[in-house]
Structure 1
Amino acid sequence: MTNSTFRAFLLAAGAGSLVLAGPAVPTSRADAQGAVATISAADKAQGAKAHPQLLAEFGGAVTGPQATYVEGIGKTIAFQSGLGNARSDFTVTLLNSPVNNAFAIPGGYVYVTRQLTVLMNNEAELAGVLGHEVGHVAARHSQKRESAATRNTILGVLGSVLAGAVLGNSALGQLGQKIFSTGSQLLTLKYSRGQESEADALGVTYLKRAGYDPRAMGTVLRSLAAQTALDAQLTGSTDKVPEWASTHPDPASRVTAALALAGPNPRGMSNRDLFLTRIDGLTYGDDPKQGVVDGRKFTHPGFRLSFQAPQGFYLVNGTRSVSISGQSGKGEMSTAPYSGNLDAYVRSVFAGLSDQQRIAPDDVRTTTVNGIPAAYGTSRVNTSDGARDVVVFAYAWGPGQAFHFTTISAAGQASAFDPMFSSMRRITIGEAGAVRARRLMVVTVKKGDTLQSLARRMAYDDRPLDRFLVLNAMDAKAALVPGSRVKLIVY
């Protein structure tokens, strides 16, 4: 969660179109080298307008040599698509986001997060992921969506998933989306099964044309599936949070299909050592400038703020808010314009929850939490799945600054969030200064190193070995070779 960007937005993504002067996917290297397709001026204008909004939504762009390296690989793989002057027409951005994700929008704008980049193990995997996204552009998938709703809107997926989990298919779905979509850093264009498979296939094709090992598409999908499974185990969640690897079709079938597309005798470069050298030092997980999630605890050193989710809940940090999820309810912590009147603040948050029906608290009560002036209100709303309690709990943080929780739970279960409401506190300067970012460190395996000894160097107390194995695409029986290089996450 950043200090300055909290407003929600919906971004038109599919209104423009690619004007193709030839086949969408060239069939030979000669075709790829010719100007067989162009990105329209309208698409370029649309992408240029959306680009700064997306940067704000996803934590901004990483700068420096690591970003330059990712950009170069992206432009190289985009050239294989045959889209006009691909090297100059495509804008490739490494995003400062702690979510495993990659996406593209019309106009030749392609994005990959630093989190997903760190999960990769060679340059061919990076090229495969970027090639998949270029494939969506080349195949005009944004123009082929089945409904206007999915064609014209990019949505934070986590919000809709949380809303659906609590609210079901009810008229209050808009409320859930309003509450949760602002906290999400996950983004997908809701492509169909066929479109995702086609983009995988195009990614493999581009890998072959560029001289990369075409198996990389399958191996990176396998790593993503493993990371998604580990994340679910770490949070105790049964929710399948949509990420780049777990959209349709299911991850296992995508891995199998991608490896089959590589062919019986795949050849090509992987550039593992170069890749590891170039990405060494990338931030991993939350950037302290956006606040840090550590288990059930969230700390923002800039705001000198901390709170803890209740037992059985887990947190997902977003650019504008922090999402809270558990089986007995969902919520988010965010902020809104504050005039100095907490009563008016709480009522304004309720008023902004739904465009379809008026939602207002029964009353607004004032209290004090750890010396912080606070106010809260509750509203019971009937849905097709039963009554739901919506709570807004706000804190006066300073002149012109307030924060609030918004929660949804089954009627009578709102008290599950009481420990969280009472945990909000100001932290000391010392506590704020102690918040550190985790980062990637590439190390050379030495004689005597074991999986366990290397895992103990990971900056995690919970399941460091499992984290190490997933990070390096290894299993528990992997043999370490002295002189080889592996990835660690350290402070």
Structure 2
Amino acid sequence: MMPAKNFFLLTLIATASFLLGGCATEPSLYSGKTGYYAYSWEQELKLGEESDAGIVKQMGVYQDDELGAYIREIGNTLLEESAIKSADAPEMYKQTEFTFRLLDSSVVNAFALPGGFVYVTRGLLAHLENEAQLAVVIGHEITHVEARHASKQALARQLGQIGLLAGAVIGEQVAENKEFARQMVSLSGDLFQLATLKYGRDAERESDWHGVEYASKAGYDAAEGSKFFRSLDRISDKSGQSIPSWMSSHPDPGEREKTIVELSEKWSTAENPVVGRDRFLEMIDGLVIGEDPRNGYNEGQTFYHPDLGIQFDAPSGWAIQNESDSVYLVSPDQNAMVAFSISAAATPLEAATTLREKLSLQTEYADGTSVNGLPAYTIEGSMTAESGTLLVSATFVEYGPNVFTFLGYGTSAGFPAHQSDASRVPGTFQKITNTRALNVQPYRIAVTRAERNAPLSDLLPSRLPSGTDAQDWAIMNQMELEDIVERGTLIKLPAQ
């Protein structure tokens, strides 16, 4: 659950517009010659730091300290081989601190923000087979940062919003990446296609080049990265969303698969380069697959949040969208919304007072009440926004240590038709009493040794996680369903 995504987008735009004051001329990290950028390096550092907080709120960090530390370990190992840490790097770059995060998203992706922020998703980890592949991906993202691709692209396009979904490894030919973008900035499908055509193939090839270089110099068998790009190609084929390479900012996965092998041969120096399959699979054993119901899920029009122990109902026909720290209920005509979140206030009255002051709300009704025996407070009114007058109906409910917010709003033209539906939602708030709903668990990866020689298809359980089929699990294992798995080989299987 989280603050409204449109607000997040506007914040990023405002931040970028503020910083984009003109053209910065600074030395290139690679050549040392003067380059032209939309941002100074100092501004990129600030932009990355401010945007990182939004990314974390928007998507959430995966809660596994050991796995998070593993990602940081590999990232920092690669940094030691990178241009930004080289002895002849311009001084302004050398002290840059990088942050490596594992995001709680099922989407297969990795990306970077200006200033040293690199992200991989748990969905990406599920589709990797070894540590060498992960090293190539992280090295690719480090390059996007140190080559300042976002700042160059912003200057070239004269954009205030520079596309902070920078460096998505999979490219727009994989359908799941559309969902990833919507998690971030709530783009329409058409706008998504434009926003993700961002760096250009030359920048992506440069990132592939150095990603393989850094992984090779760190002792990894970087040629393994080609198998991951083969997996991306298979995901594209399965989704039916593959597009010609000339239409995409990213090189075609098939092209990248071949190029990475060639680059690995160029850069490889280790006698016995590290693949790191066993260690990697050990680290991702137990990784959540798909959406985690512990963070909230809906059955029909009822939303359950097992970890909070609460539930409530959406009006008939309204869409339910669960995010990292908010849940959005949207009317069929999209003229009204109810945003559910946790308030920082100590009491419902304090939460209502804070909202009134923050929004400069013209109050029409405000009074204490109760919701199923729980202390509550309701406030209604209007506020003036750039788009016109917004009507607001909010109820704050105290349960346990938290004050929960139901914020209903819409335009003066559209909200009245839905206000009664929106106002009834808080009244459905209650403790979860259904033990099945309360105790639901996510599916996880179980790294298992094959008990016999058999095709992969024979080793998969008959019941697979919702939203996946046998082919998805073959792709996750970087195998074909008919491939024979030898007894004792480690494979990924679903478990609950």
Question: What TM-score comes out, normalization by structure 1 length?
Answer: 0.64
Match for residue 258 of structure 1?
A: 256
Percent of residue pairs identical: 23
The answer (yes or no) to whether the contact 1:457–1:490 under 8 Å persists in 2 is no
Please state how far the C-alpha of 1:258 moved relative to its aligned partner.
Answer: 1.2
Of 111, 119, 130, the match for 1:111: 119
Match for residue 323 of structure 2?
A: 318
Q: What is the CA–CA distance in structure 1 between the aligned matches of 2:232 and 2:420, rounded to whole Å? A: 33
Bigger shift: residues 111-120 or 261-270? 261-270
The answer (yes or no) to whether the contact 1:24–1:139 under 8 Å persists in 2 is no
Match for residue 171 of structure 2?
A: none
Of 23, 31, 38, the match for 2:30: 23
Larger Rg: 2
The answer (yes or no) to whether the contact 1:367–1:375 under 8 Å persists in 2 is yes
Please state how far the C-alpha of 1:486 moved relative to its aligned partner.
Answer: 1.4
The answer (yes or no) to whether the contact 2:2–2:327 under 8 Å persists in 1 is no
Q: Structure 1's 395 and 135: CA in aligned 2 closer, same or farther, altered over 3 A?
A: same
Alignment partner of 1:396: what SS? strand
Q: Could you report, residue by residue, the CA deviation over 1:21-66 in whole angstroms, capped at 9, with x for unpaired residues?
A: 752599xxxxxxxxxxxx9677667766766665455434655443
Of 433, 440, 464, the match for 2:445: 440
Residue 259 of structure 2 aligns with an amino acid whose one-letter code is: L
Bigger shift: residues 457-466 or 478-487? 457-466
The answer (yes or no) to whether the contact 1:283–1:440 under 8 Å persists in 2 is yes
Structure 1: gaps of 5 or more residues = 27-38, 170-187, 234-239, 353-357
Match for residue 334 of structure 1?
A: 341
Q: Could you report, residue by residue, the CA deviation over 1:424-444 in whole angstroms, capped at 9, with x for unpaired residues?
A: 543139567514344322111
Residue 127 of structure 1 aligns with an amino acid whose one-letter code is: A
Q: What is the CA–CA distance in structure 2 between the aligned matches of 1:478 and 1:343, rounded to whole Å? A: 58
Q: How does 1:226-245 map to 2 (within 5 A)?
A: none
Of 199, 203, 218, the match for 1:192: 199
Please state how far the C-alpha of 1:129 moved relative to its aligned partner.
Answer: 1.7
Match for residue 80 of structure 2?
A: 79
Residue 293 of structure 1 aligns with an amino acid whose one-letter code is: Y
Match for residue 355 of structure 1?
A: none
Q: What is the CA–CA distance in structure 1 between the aligned matches of 2:101 and 2:218, rounded to whole Å? A: 21
Q: What is the CA–CA distance in structure 2 between the aligned matches of 1:251 and 1:298, rounded to whole Å? A: 39
Q: What is the CA–CA distance in structure 2 between the aligned matches of 1:162 and 1:348, rounded to whole Å? A: 27
Please state how far the C-alpha of 1:369 moved relative to its aligned partner.
Answer: 7.8
Q: Structure 1's 417 and 479: CA in aligned 2 closer, same or farther, altered over 3 A?
A: farther
Q: What is the CA–CA distance in structure 2 between the aligned matches of 1:190 and 1:252, rounded to whole Å? A: 8
Structure 2: gaps of 5 or more residues = 34-39, 88-93, 167-179, 266-272
Please state how far the C-alpha of 1:126 moved relative to its aligned partner.
Answer: 0.8
Q: Could you report, residue by residue, the CA deviation over 1:73-102 in whole angstroms, capped at 9, with x for unpaired residues?
A: 222333343112599855343425124343
The answer (yes or no) to whether the contact 2:292–2:442 under 8 Å persists in 1 is yes
Q: What is the CA–CA distance in structure 2 between the aligned matches of 1:52 and 1:271, rounded to whole Å? A: 32
Q: Structure 1's 159 and 69: CA in aligned 2 closer, same or farther, altered over 3 A?
A: closer
Q: How does 1:19-418 map to 2 (within 5 A)?
A: 20=27, 22-23=29-30, 54-60=55-61, 62=63, 64-84=65-85, 90-100=97-107, 101-144=109-152, 145-146=154-155, 147-151=158-162, 157-158=181-182, 162=186, 164=188, 191-194=198-201, 195-210=203-218, 212-214=220-222, 216-221=224-229, 223=231, 250=248, 253-263=251-261, 270-285=275-290, 291-293=295-297, 298-307=303-312, 317-323=322-328, 329=334, 332-336=339-343, 340=348, 394=395, 396-398=397-399, 401-404=403-406
How many residues align? The count is 435
Alignment partner of 1:83: what SS? helix
Q: What is the CA–CA distance in structure 1 between the aligned matches of 2:280 and 2:486, rounded to whole Å? A: 19
CA RMSD of aligned residues (A): 5.7
Q: What is the CA–CA distance in structure 1 between the aligned matches of 2:363 and 2:184, rounded to whole Å? A: 23
The answer (yes or no) to whether the contact 2:204–2:249 under 8 Å persists in 1 is no
Q: What is the CA–CA distance in structure 2 between the aligned matches of 1:456 and 1:298, rounded to whole Å? A: 29
Residue 296 of structure 2 aligns with an amino acid whose one-letter code is: V
Of 453, 462, 465, the match for 1:460: 465
Question: What TM-score comes out, normalization by structure 2 length?
Answer: 0.63
Q: What is the CA–CA distance in structure 1 between the aligned matches of 2:105 and 2:455, rounded to whole Å? A: 28
Q: Structure 1's 340 and 67: CA in aligned 2 closer, same or farther, altered over 3 A?
A: closer
Of 468, 489, 493, the match for 1:488: 493
The answer (yes or no) to whether the contact 1:469–1:475 under 8 Å persists in 2 is yes
Alignment partner of 1:262: what SS? helix
Please state how far the C-alpha of 1:307 moved relative to its aligned partner.
Answer: 4.3
Match for residue 484 of structure 2?
A: 479
Q: What is the CA–CA distance in structure 2 between the aligned matches of 1:347 and 1:13, rounded to whole Å? A: 27
Q: What is the CA–CA distance in structure 1 between the aligned matches of 2:424 and 2:474, rounded to whole Å? A: 33
Please state how far the C-alpha of 1:69 moved relative to its aligned partner.
Answer: 2.6
Match for residue 270 of structure 2?
A: none
Q: Structure 1's 317 and 119: CA in aligned 2 closer, same or farther, altered over 3 A?
A: farther
Residue 161 of structure 2 aligns with an amino acid whose one-letter code is: T
Residue 207 of structure 2 aligns with an amino acid whose one-letter code is: A
Residue 78 of structure 2 aligns with an amino acid whose one-letter code is: I
Q: What is the CA–CA distance in structure 1 between the aligned matches of 2:486 and 2:331, rounded to whole Å? A: 42
Residue 282 of structure 2 aligns with an amino acid whose one-letter code is: T
Higher relative contact order (CA 8 A, sep 6+): 1
Q: What is the CA–CA distance in structure 1 between the aligned matches of 2:103 and 2:217, rounded to whole Å? A: 30
Q: Structure 1's 210 and 189: CA in aligned 2 closer, same or farther, altered over 3 A?
A: farther
Match for residue 174 of structure 1?
A: none
Q: Structure 1's 248 and 306: CA in aligned 2 closer, same or farther, altered over 3 A?
A: farther
Q: Could you report, residue by residue, the CA deviation over 1:238-267 in whole angstroms, capped at 9, with x for unpaired residues?
A: xx9xxxx9x996499531331232256965
